Structure 1
Amino acid sequence: MRNPSVTCLLCALITVVLLCSAGCLHAPGNIAGTLTGNAPTPDISPAAPAPTGTSYVLVETLAPDTPAIPESPTCQPLVVPQETGDTIQENTFNFQYRSVPYSVTIPVNTSLYQAARNSPNKNLNLSGTNDTAALYRQMMNDPAMDPFFNDLIRELSKDRYKGGNNLTDDEYLEMVTSFVQQIPAENRTAGNPRYPVEVIADGKGTSDEKAMLLTGILSRQGYDTALLLFPGINRAGSGIGIRLATNHPSFRVFSDGRRDYLFIETSTTRLIGIYDDQIDTAPDPVVIPFGNGTLGYSHINFVMGIFADLRTMENQLKMYDEEAGPARQLTAYDYEAAVSYVNACEFVMSTNDRDAAYSAIRASQLSRHSACVTCG
């Protein structure tokens, strides 16, 4: 989803008729339009820039204290036939993390896949938040899923050490997030969700199904994580636990009443901690913590710097829209800045590479016109 102010600005800029008069650029129509510029090419279609806020704060990881989620008596564990010589299906996924290509081949036991596909849990009528939370917890914690997650984690861990490298815990979190984000998305809304094993076997998933997959991987590798469900907008994401250093952060935090979580997008490629307007304005989600992990994300302060710069550029674009007035005029200097902000926002909202995001912001005109957190 695109941010309305940036998307509008892009459209007028692409249709702009440049009529030079007294050093001004004339843009008929609303200046808030769409432009494709010379920003670095993102891996997938760009999304919307981050929403506005009030301050820039530091955060640190929070040691978990998992609250109890009520179990529903209607949820049933998977029944997997114990057959000799089970058939193994292998699916290969190609993805990019920080412009480096990765490939992972994941084995799937077809007996487990069929058991998940035919689970009676698919036909449950969920009557409220508790039933929803219980179903997702059952699907994530079912012992029958453990061999699948063990195989998946083993294969992903090979990429952690690709080419003699050794990704840090933060980098591994980013890499696994990139893997899940780049699994093809599906917008199916009917019925209860697929199990994580089905997402891998089918090679696609909805936002909640992919969020279950990511949360299942991270929770089994020591990360403090949660599943975030937004039923009002039919979206979901994962969360990484944080402790705030202020009661008034510049970004949205999601809580189960005991722990706070930072949003991780699963439906498209995006930096950890960055979200669009739809998530910003959505009602509070259902927060379902998983596991007892303690690992957090130490790069969050750098991401919040990017968040702050996105907010500043969005505010500058709104100012230019007002400045253009009924005549729809901007000076060449301001027009160049507006174009650079649009390009930077579009790229930053569609990348999983922190360094590339910094470069895109620094290549814009932000430091010449306003404060730039990431330009220092």
Structure 2
Amino acid sequence: MRKRILFLFLLAAAIGGACLGFFLRPEFVPPAIVPLEGASLNQTPVYTLLFEGGMETIRIDPDPAVYAGAKAANRSLHLYTDMPEEEWIPIYYLAFINEPHQEPFYADLLGALREIRDRRGLDDDRYLELIAVFVQSIPYETDASVSEPKFPIETFVDAAGDCDDKSLLLAGLLAREGYGVSLLYFGGETHMAVGVKSAGCGYRNTSFAYIETTNVSYVGIPPATLSGGATLSSDPLVIPVGQGERSYTACNQVQTIERALSALRDRAAVLETELEARGREIEAMRDALDVLGARMTSLLRAGDISEYNRLVQDYNRMAGDYNQAVDAYNALLDEAERVVDLHNDLAAGAHDRPASYLVARAYPSG
């Protein structure tokens, strides 16, 4: 959930005296960090994440003075002139990302991420996915007592954040690594995500691939629903953060994965409907067998062997049909379990897009 923005519209007082000329106030004063020297951290977070089949650990030592200053910062946007939303909203969020006292934090964190990139030989697409998976792996958490966004250094040290907190961190990292990146601000749905310049998987009215930051998910595949069941139906306000030349070029593979996921969901729905219908048929067949079996038991107890023997053939035929129906049901159930398992494996495989693509490519998706 994106937190609300606090802003104050302030009136500048007029100052007389021709010898002083005009006293010019800025149009706005954004949130800023004043480091608190002497501060300390209770603990430094250590992040362990799964990426492409292996575990990675990320640990840095953020400046306690900057973190404490971020915690104590006034997060209001002070406006001295009237501005439309599409102007002051970007000013507000960019102030959190680009607050200059955080640059050493960005440099240290990117140093740790680059070490993984170089050791694994990641290309630009996989490196972007590494950064995304790292931020997505930070626990999603909302704090009802805090109504404003966090500075990225806070999200890292707190090891928790909501959609705008994590989006600000991811956008700041990608921008500093030369990617074309923007924030995607959904005012109506109170949500925020990240968009990265892409070739072939632009989201809605943008040229950016959608990145959901609240959970580990594929670059370029937006969520069907948000937490709480809401859906994204509006065009986002695009807030440019980085104008770099790097872009995401694995859209064809992501689209193959998305088609496979869609086909698997469709097949699972068909199988569920068919299993329900066949289950009802089998239940009716079982009831008919029970009724016939009870009648035959009564005949046997009454000594009516002739009628009992006459019904044996009917019972055996019905039992054979029942067993065939059960076998067919179980075969469908096996397929349904395979389909669901494959879907869930693919859906959970965003940390390893290349491997997921190979799996998705092998599934007939129409």
Give the TM-score normalised by the residue count of structure 1. Answer: 0.67
Distance 2:167 2:271 in 1: 38
Give the gaps of 5 or more residues in structure 2.
Answer: 1-25, 281-327
Give the gaps of 5 or more residues in structure 1.
Answer: 1-70, 245-250, 372-376
**Counterpart contact for 2:254–2:357, Cα < 8 Å:** no
Tell me: higher relative CO, structure 1 or 2? Use CA pairs within 8 A at least 6 residues apart: 1
Alignment of 1:231-250 (within 5 A): 231-244=187-200
- Residues 323-372 of structure 1: CA distance to partner in whole angstroms, max 9, x if unpaired? 45655467444433322221122222222112442455478xx44xx53x
Show the counterpart of 1:222.
Answer: 178
Aligned-residue RMSD, C-alpha: 3.0
Show the counterpart of 1:314.
Answer: 265
Secondary structure of 2:267 counterpart: helix
2:103 pairs with 1:146: yes
**Counterpart contact for 2:183–2:241, Cα < 8 Å:** yes
Shift of 1:183: 1.3
Distance 2:111 2:32 in 1: 24
Alignment of 1:65-214 (within 5 A): 73-80=28-35, 83=37, 90-121=44-75, 128-162=85-119, 165-188=120-143, 190-214=146-170
Question: Aligned to 1:350, which of 348, 351, 355?
Answer: 348
Check 1:278–1:232 CA distance in 2 against 1; reply closer, same or farther (3 A cut): farther
More helix by share: 2
Question: Aligned to 2:237, which of 269, 280, 286?
Answer: 286
Show the counterpart of 1:34.
Answer: none
Distance 2:276 2:157 in 1: 55
Question: Aligned to 1:339, which of 334, 337, 341?
Answer: 337
**Counterpart contact for 2:135–2:213, Cα < 8 Å:** yes
Give the TM-score normalised by the residue count of structure 2. Answer: 0.68
**Counterpart contact for 1:344–1:361, Cα < 8 Å:** no
**Counterpart contact for 2:189–2:232, Cα < 8 Å:** no
Shift of 1:120: 1.1
Secondary structure of 1:106 counterpart: coil
Secondary structure of 1:91 counterpart: coil
Shift of 1:139: 0.9
Secondary structure of 1:107 counterpart: coil
Shift of 1:102: 0.8
Q: Which moved more, 1:337-346 or 1:260-269?
A: 337-346
- Greater CA radius of gyration, 1 or 2? 2
Alignment of 1:298-313 (within 5 A): 298-313=249-264
Distance 1:238 1:362 in 2: 27
Show the counterpart of 2:223.
Answer: 276
Distance 1:86 1:136 in 2: 26
Secondary structure of 1:211 counterpart: helix
Distance 2:267 2:279 in 1: 16
Distance 1:362 1:168 in 2: 21
Shift of 1:264: 1.1
Check 1:209–1:105 CA distance in 2 against 1; reply closer, same or farther (3 A cut): same
**Counterpart contact for 2:209–2:248, Cα < 8 Å:** no
Shift of 1:79: 2.6
Shift of 1:96: 1.4
**Counterpart contact for 1:254–1:287, Cα < 8 Å:** no
Distance 1:127 1:344 in 2: 48
What is the letter of the counterpart of residue 282 of structure 1? S
Check 1:236–1:344 CA distance in 2 against 1; reply closer, same or farther (3 A cut): farther
Check 1:120–1:267 CA distance in 2 against 1; reply closer, same or farther (3 A cut): same
Check 1:252–1:333 CA distance in 2 against 1; reply closer, same or farther (3 A cut): farther
Distance 2:86 2:54 in 1: 40
Secondary structure of 2:268 counterpart: helix
